[in-house]
Chains A and B, each alone.
Chain A
């Protein structure tokens, strides 16, 4: 099935945030903090205001003078009012007739700054592993502690305790399209057009930052040139909108790639300690200790720890455990979501650990996982039921492929396996308005297509399946937050599963209504000569003849489809501090990597790859394949080369594509994709979300292949040649 947006995009015919333009528009640029931690003693904006072409310059004072009082009380005001918390944090902004003029004027603002002590890394905050009392340190912005069962007894009676520490690095989303938006403000009403994954979430976020009511603000999404989690929360919009107030003109703000990297809400480093107790060849206890760098985040970040630790127990039955994690504030930019937030790095640690444990026990790594992997009916670590789950089937399929690969494995090559699980955010609700018109169906909803096809293509396919109407007669339409029904956003592999269910429900009510009108128990729709027909057995009715006068006047039969999933609950007695993430709607993936290790340089070459993806039902198998291939290759970047490098002064040393290496076309190995179907998910027709899971096991699969090839484990990701060479004692 080809996507309706493919050819227009290939012709360069769709508009992204970067392409936004408005009559009378000004261009904006940011003034950014010269130190990672400090106070602004003095900042003269006057000289910049007098520069050629400059129309407005705004700083902390303008929050007070131009916005309602609430803007001063925002958790994170437009500009910092007290402390600069990371290097490059925007502290003022300029709007001018041209971009060049704006950037010149921004560069002319030179604040006098008093520097404060910098915590560049987790180790700067906690040189030693923190005790529980560390939760009171003001730089701990999240703390979660959970336990279940008699962990101590299980560790005392274990046959073997396996203990390791892993380190992970920061990874940037690098959506090809930089962030960009266009803000307008007139008479207390605000409008922003922006490249966003979450128009409604962004409206809420912006209203709180600007100190205004949500009803005073309209967010309109554009086509999104890649999101991967990086285009959700407020980013450039507050600056553009404040400048629009100050200048009374539309203001366009986009950033350079260097700014993308330096402002990025990205993955940040973590340190993970794992201890696993084994008895009788099975896991009987686990201790997890986690330190998560959350950058310049403010208190209340328990969820970052809660998300991470779930992945450190794994998709395995764990009879007893104790987990404790701290979110640590440093002077890097605040962390942000990246495709499958917190999963690839946590899973790198856990799946490396499990693999090493299997090898230590002399058990085949796939066989060892099969002994404890979740099956339907199992309970999770927080006592939630595991529904239909395809990981066991995936492991068995992977075992066959691994066996075939191993029969012809050259010297110096190794095969690694890794599992990952994911919980799609199906519960995050959404709505869609379906208008069945005499010439076709229009689905009005609030999301813009970010690339995976779940909106422009997936929602149409759901309606096609329910109604029987051909794709050509179905159009997915977009509104802004004032005209479209609410939806939670394109994130969490939820779009098809949740918004798709809203469309499915809407389509089913159309069927019910029309069946009643023609007096039949079953109907479907067809399109003939541009006319929608309602087919009931051998009878065919023109839709237009079945509409009421009101419906004809309104252009068609309009229904609302709504889906709000059930609240999920965890066993709260197991959570001693903070909160854990209530996983739901499980999906999983098993990956295999064959890797060749250069024993002189430490360079890795991924020779071939296989991904076994639990998808429930593949609503469009070719679209699923595209998600798996794309996720695997993004994961290979994180496994092999992608790493944000910070200096001890919290300066990002590689803010650009020259030094932050993404996978290129010739880096990609052959990828065998196998869809595991039959373990129905909560989405339409049993679908499970598939956007995020394929990235999760990749770094672990590569690391396990290196261990298989060399007998040496690498405890840090990415597995750069330098790290591999060190592990092999070549350096």
Chain B
């Protein structure tokens, strides 16, 4: 293994990349090395939430994390999440509520909401779930349809 190689656990599979600069962000490794472009690139400053992924189940802005920092952790992107029950449920709720317009923010919202609904036990109160989406920007919907989707996903879980 060369000095610049990097191993990641991506959506349950071990992945291996060569010649990865130390300063490379997780967002770029996911999108341009792993080719998983469902994770969206927005502001790259941690303000918009479009690039959200799960690191050990915790919602994380992949634009603010260096790939090397999470080499030992379990990373789940929207592609992985959408094959899991909670992901499918959240996606269906967004679809039904008309909460998807241009769609650029949607994978980030799905990740942020699924992270909160994915735990064992009863789902958190609606207000807590909505607070958990304050880090995700949407410019199209005005958030009201998204709030409906959150309520529906919470009921469905």
Measured CB to CB, the residues of A under 8 A from B are: 2-3, 5-7, 9-16, 18-19, 21, 100, 174-178, 223-228, 256-257, 449-453, 622-623, 625-626, 629-634, 656-658, 662-666, 668, 671
Asked if A451 and B43 make an inter-chain contact with CB atoms under 8 angstroms apart, the answer reads: no
Tell which of A451, A625, A666, A671 touches B130, judged by Cβ atoms closer than 8 Å: A666
CB nearest to B91 among chain A residues: A10
Asked if B42 and A665 make an inter-chain contact with CB atoms under 8 angstroms apart, the answer reads: no
Tell which of A174, A178, A449, A665 touches B139, judged by Cβ atoms closer than 8 Å: A174
Tell which of A2, A12, A451 touches B96, judged by Cβ atoms closer than 8 Å: A2
Residue B72 CB within 8 A of the other chain: no
Asked if B102 and A176 make an inter-chain contact with CB atoms under 8 angstroms apart, the answer reads: yes
Asked if A452 and B140 make an inter-chain contact with CB atoms under 8 angstroms apart, the answer reads: yes
Residue B40 CB within 8 A of the other chain: yes
- Given A11-B82, A450-B102, A451-B103, do A666 and B134 touch, yes or no (CB 8 Å)? yes
Tell which of A5, A223, A662, A671 touches B137, judged by Cβ atoms closer than 8 Å: A662
Residue B45 CB within 8 A of the other chain: yes
- Given A223-B103, A622-B98, do A657 and B142 touch, yes or no (CB 8 Å)? no
Pairs A–B under 8 Å by Cβ, sample size 22: A7-B91, A9-B100, A9-B107, A10-B82, A10-B110, A11-B78, A12-B37, A14-B103, A19-B37, A176-B102, A176-B137, A178-B41, A223-B103, A225-B40, A226-B102, A226-B140, A631-B142, A633-B144, A656-B47, A657-B47, A662-B139, A665-B130
Asked if A257 and B103 make an inter-chain contact with CB atoms under 8 angstroms apart, the answer reads: no
Asked if A257 and B140 make an inter-chain contact with CB atoms under 8 angstroms apart, the answer reads: no
Q: A6-B103, A100-B21 are known; give 19 further A-B pairs, CB within 8 A.
A: A6-B94, A7-B100, A10-B107, A12-B38, A19-B31, A174-B139, A175-B104, A176-B48, A177-B42, A223-B102, A257-B44, A452-B101, A626-B101, A626-B145, A630-B101, A657-B48, A657-B137, A665-B138, A666-B130
Residues of A within 8 A of B40 (CB): 12, 16, 18, 176-177, 225
Asked if B142 and A10 make an inter-chain contact with CB atoms under 8 angstroms apart, the answer reads: no
Residues of B within 8 A of A257 (CB): 42-45
Asked if A12 and B79 make an inter-chain contact with CB atoms under 8 angstroms apart, the answer reads: yes
Residues of A within 8 A of B43 (CB): 257, 656-657
CA distance A227 to B140 in the complex (A): 10
Residues of A within 8 A of B95 (CB): 2-3, 6-7, 10
CA distance A715 to B140 in the complex (A): 28
Q: Which of A14, A178, A630, A632 has the most CB of B within 10 A?
A: A630
Residue B3 CB within 8 A of the other chain: no
Residues of A within 8 A of B147 (CB): 665, 668
CA distance A11 to B77 in the complex (A): 10
Asked if A665 and B96 make an inter-chain contact with CB atoms under 8 angstroms apart, the answer reads: no
Tell which of A15, A175, A178, A626 touches B37, judged by Cβ atoms closer than 8 Å: A15
Asked if B100 and A5 make an inter-chain contact with CB atoms under 8 angstroms apart, the answer reads: yes
Q: Which 4 A-B pairs have the closest CB atoms?
A: A12-B38, A9-B103, A451-B102, A225-B104
Task: Give, as a whole number of angstroms, the nearest-CB distance from B31 to chain A.
Answer: 8
CA distance A664 to B48 in the complex (A): 10
Tell which of A12, A100, A663 touches B39, judged by Cβ atoms closer than 8 Å: A12
- Given A10-B106, A11-B78, A666-B134, do A658 and B98 touch, yes or no (CB 8 Å)? no
- Given A13-B38, A257-B45, do A226 and B139 touch, yes or no (CB 8 Å)? yes
Tell which of A12, A178, A626, A663 touches B77, judged by Cβ atoms closer than 8 Å: A12
Task: Give, as a whole number of angstroms, the nearest-CB distance from A10 to chain B.
Answer: 4
Asked if B144 and A176 make an inter-chain contact with CB atoms under 8 angstroms apart, the answer reads: no
Residues of B within 8 A of A630 (CB): 101, 139-142
CB nearest to B93 among chain A residues: A10
Residues of B within 8 A of A656 (CB): 43, 45, 47
Asked if B140 and A3 make an inter-chain contact with CB atoms under 8 angstroms apart, the answer reads: no
CA distance A623 to B140 in the complex (A): 12
CB nearest to A449 among chain B residues: B102
Asked if B139 and A668 make an inter-chain contact with CB atoms under 8 angstroms apart, the answer reads: no
CA distance A18 to B27 in the complex (A): 13
Q: Which of B96, B106, B131 has the most CB of A within 10 A?
A: B106
B29-80, CB < 8 A from A: 31-32, 36-45, 47-48, 50, 77-79
